[in-house]
């Protein structure tokens, strides 16, 4: 079959690889019908999230059940499903405590309580490095889905692939960031980063009763997209002092909630890069620092963007003085997916309006290029095997 394969930083190509096979009675094999490239994939492409071996990429995918393992009773050949990106056994301590991204069983080699940079990680993810389980991903014609009695969800027939695909990751991720902030209604939510995750957080903010949603991004075309699909206010850090602007919009207090939907590889200048080298840091926490400044006292910061190393000069003084609540991590997709499928199915939210490019899987290399380099006004690439 054909699949998008990571070879080394900067090198992902579509190759012929062996078809997957059932390895465990709880597996299914899926014929992938749609899959997307995520901002998280770009951290592997850049080499910032390390991967030595070749790996089939992709953790946002859906498809049709092709073959089921002998213990699978909830699915049959021909079912059309979306698959949450964290791989969860459904039976361990964490899986039974609404914490499936911390599954103790799915990441055989690298699971541990420590959260190290190079060893002990949480549960496994599809197509997301050996440290996260080494599972082949879904940017492929077929994919093996382990523990298929737990995660995959059958999608109503009236939804197209494009309408349903983002239930695998970015919509539950955006939703988590807002759910963690526990809105009561009327809050001002400032969302840093208006890529796919930021756009989904904007949708989730409105659905959860926000009074005002502000999108922050240095790319005007992404802010234009945010305005067009989510009717948010926008701020470009190249044009305004974002912290001052947010304070002015909130009677000097700051936003009730700030979301970091950027992570450790934001737009960086030479000084940022020098600082990272001197401090042995990966990327930069500059967006996170802006969240701590822009949020009001006693407010909440949700961190959905990925961070990959310790960071010096972390502003603990400000976090303590302002009494900020911080929540972060891999999105617990399984906690939300059934509710979110209903929202999409009942047309209470539209997800596919962020797609800018739908191209054949065979053109994945091009898809990675325009998404990574922000060319051709690219916001979200869907690949069709
Ligand atoms: N926690 C999770 O479960 C989870 C799930 C999916 C993705 N992620 C992470 O979320 C992050 C965003 O993913 P994405 O797919 O939207 O990626 P993306 O790269 O398309 O979007 C990031 C956006 O941030 C903007 N940006 C760069 N510098 C900025 C700055 N200084 N201020 C404001 N915005 C800035 C970029 O212009 C871009 O639009 C990534 O780190 C990704 O790994 C986490
Ligand atoms: Zn993702
Ligand atoms: Zn588990």
pLDDT at 212: 98
pLDDT at 261: 98
For the CA of 328, the closest atom of ligand 1 is 1
Nearest CA to ligand 1 atom 20: 195
SS3 at position 44 = helix
What is the domain-level CATH number for residue 88? 3.90.180.10
Is the C-beta atom of 331 inside 6 A of ligand 1? yes
Rounded distance between C-alpha atoms, residue 211 and residue 248, angstroms = 16
Task: Tell me which of 101, 128, 217 to substitute to probe ligand 1's pocket, judged by most ligand atoms within 8 Å of the beta carbon.
Answer: 217
Rounded distance between C-alpha atoms, residue 331 and residue 333, angstroms = 5
Reading the chain (385 residues) residue by residue, the pLDDT tens digits are 999 999 999 999 999 999 999 999 999 999 999 999 999 999 999 999 999 999 999 999 999 999 999 999 999 999 999 999 999 999 999 999 999 999 999 999 999 999 988 899 999 999 999 999 999 999 999 999 999 999 999 999 999 999 999 999 999 999 999 999 999 999 999 999 999 999 999 999 999 999 999 999 999 999 999 999 999 999 999 999 999 999 999 999 999 999 999 999 999 888 888 888 888 888 999 999 999 999 999 999 999 999 988 998 899 999 999 999 999 999 999 999 999 999 999 999 999 999 999 999 999 999 999 999 999 999 999 999 9
- Residue 163 and residue 22 share a domain: yes
Element (H, E) at 243: helix 242-249
Rounded distance between C-alpha atoms, residue 206 and residue 23, angstroms = 43
Rounded distance between C-alpha atoms, residue 352 and residue 14, angstroms = 25
The CA 102 to ligand 3 mean position distance, Å, reads 7
- Residue 346 and residue 248 share a domain: no
- Residue 282 and residue 207 share a domain: yes
pLDDT at 281: 87
Torsion angle of C-alpha atoms 68, 35, 308, 183, degrees rounded to 10: -100
Is the C-beta atom of 289 inside 6 A of ligand 1? no
- Residue 107 and residue 18 share a domain: yes
Rounded distance between C-alpha atoms, residue 129 and residue 342, angstroms = 32
Which tokens belong to 275? 């600082």
Count: domains in the chain = 2
Q: How far is CA 243 from CA 95, 234, 248, 283, 292, in A?
A: 39, 13, 9, 21, 10
- Residue 215 and residue 160 share a domain: no
For residues 8-34, one letter each, b for 16 or more C-beta atoms within 10 angstroms of the residue's C-beta and e for the rest, the string is eeeebebeebeebebeeebbbbbbbbb
Q: Of 281, 307, 328, which residue constitutes the final position of a domain? A: 328
Burial group, residue 154, by CB count within 10 angstroms (0-12, 13-18, 19+): middle
- Residue 81 and residue 27 share a domain: yes
Is the C-beta atom of 39 inside 6 A of ligand 1? yes
SS3 at position 23 = coil
pLDDT at 150: 97
Q: Of 294, 310, 328, which residue constitutes the final position of a domain? A: 328
Rounded distance between C-alpha atoms, residue 331 and residue 336, angstroms = 9
pLDDT at 117: 85
Rounded distance between C-alpha atoms, residue 102 and residue 145, angstroms = 18
pLDDT at 280: 84
Q: Considering only the C-alpha atoms of the chain, give the largest distance between any 2 of them, rounded to a whole number of Å.
A: 61
pLDDT at 118: 86
- Residue 118 and residue 177 share a domain: no
- Ligand at shortest distance from the CA of 150: 3
- Residue 193 and residue 159 share a domain: no
pLDDT at 136: 98
Is the C-beta atom of 125 inside 6 A of ligand 1? no
Task: Tell me which of 240, 305, 308 to substitute to probe ligand 1's pocket, judged by most ligand atoms within 8 Å of the beta carbon.
Answer: 305
Which tokens belong to 131? 């440290």
Is the C-beta atom of 69 inside 6 A of ligand 1? no
- Residue 233 and residue 97 share a domain: no
Task: Tell me which of 40, 178, 382 to substitute to probe ligand 1's pocket, judged by most ligand atoms within 8 Å of the beta carbon.
Answer: 40
What pTM value is reported for the model?
0.98
- Residue 236 and residue 313 share a domain: yes
- Residue 204 and residue 158 share a domain: no
Residue ranges making up the domain that contains 252: 173-328
Element (H, E) at 357: strand 357-360
> What phi and psi values does residue 12 have, to the nearest 5 degrees?
-120, 125
What is the domain-level CATH number for residue 254? 3.40.50.720
Q: Of 328, 344, 374, which residue constitutes the final position of a domain? A: 328
């Amino acid at each position: 079959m054909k699949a998008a394969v990571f070879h080394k930083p900067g090198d992902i190509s579509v190759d012929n690889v062996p078809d997957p096979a059932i390895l465990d009675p709880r597996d299914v094999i899926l014929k992938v019908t749609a899959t997307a490239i995520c901002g998280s994939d770009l951290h592997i492409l850049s080499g910032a999230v390390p991967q030595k071996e070749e790996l089939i990429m992709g953790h946002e995918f859906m498809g049709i059940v092709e073959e089921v393992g002998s213990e699978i009773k909830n699915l049959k050949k021909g079912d059309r499903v979306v698959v949450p990106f964290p791989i969860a056994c459904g039976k361990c301590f964490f899986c039974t405590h609404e914490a499936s991204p911390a599954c103790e069983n799915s990441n055989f080699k690298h699971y541990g309580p420590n959260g190290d940079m190079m060893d002990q990680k949480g549960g496994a993810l599809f197509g997301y490095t050996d440290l996260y389980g080494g599972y082949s991903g879904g940017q492929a014609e077929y994919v093996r889905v382990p523990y298929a009695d737990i995660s995959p969800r059958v999608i109503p027939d009236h939804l197209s692939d494009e309408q349903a695909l983002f239930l695998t990751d970015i919509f539950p991720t955006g939703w988590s960031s807002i759910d963690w902030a526990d809105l009561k209604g009327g809050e001002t939510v400032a969302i840093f980063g208006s890529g796919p995750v930021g756009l989904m957080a904007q949708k989730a903010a409105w659905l959860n009763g926000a009074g005002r949603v502000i999108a922050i991004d240095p790319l005007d075309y992404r802010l234009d997209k945010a305005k067009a699909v989510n009717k948010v206010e926008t701020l470009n850090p190249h044009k305004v002092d974002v912290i001052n602007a947010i304070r002015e919009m909130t009677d000097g207090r700051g936003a009730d909630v700030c979301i970091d939907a950027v992570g450790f590889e934001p737009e960086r200048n030479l000084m940022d890069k020098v600082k990272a080298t001197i401090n042995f840091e990966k990327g930069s926490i500059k967006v996170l620092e802006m969240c701590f400044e822009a949020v009001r006292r006693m407010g909440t910061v949700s961190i959905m963007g990925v961070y990959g190393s310790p960071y010096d000069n972390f502003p603990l003084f400000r976090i303590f003085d302002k009494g900020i609540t911080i929540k972060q991590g891999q999105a617990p997709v399984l906690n939300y997916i059934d509710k979110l499928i209903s929202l999409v199915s009942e047309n209470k939210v539209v997800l596919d309006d962020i797609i800018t490019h739908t191209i054949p899987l065979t053109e994945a290399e091009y898809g990675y290029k325009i998404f990574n380099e922000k060319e051709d006004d690219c916001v979200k690439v869907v690949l069709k095997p």
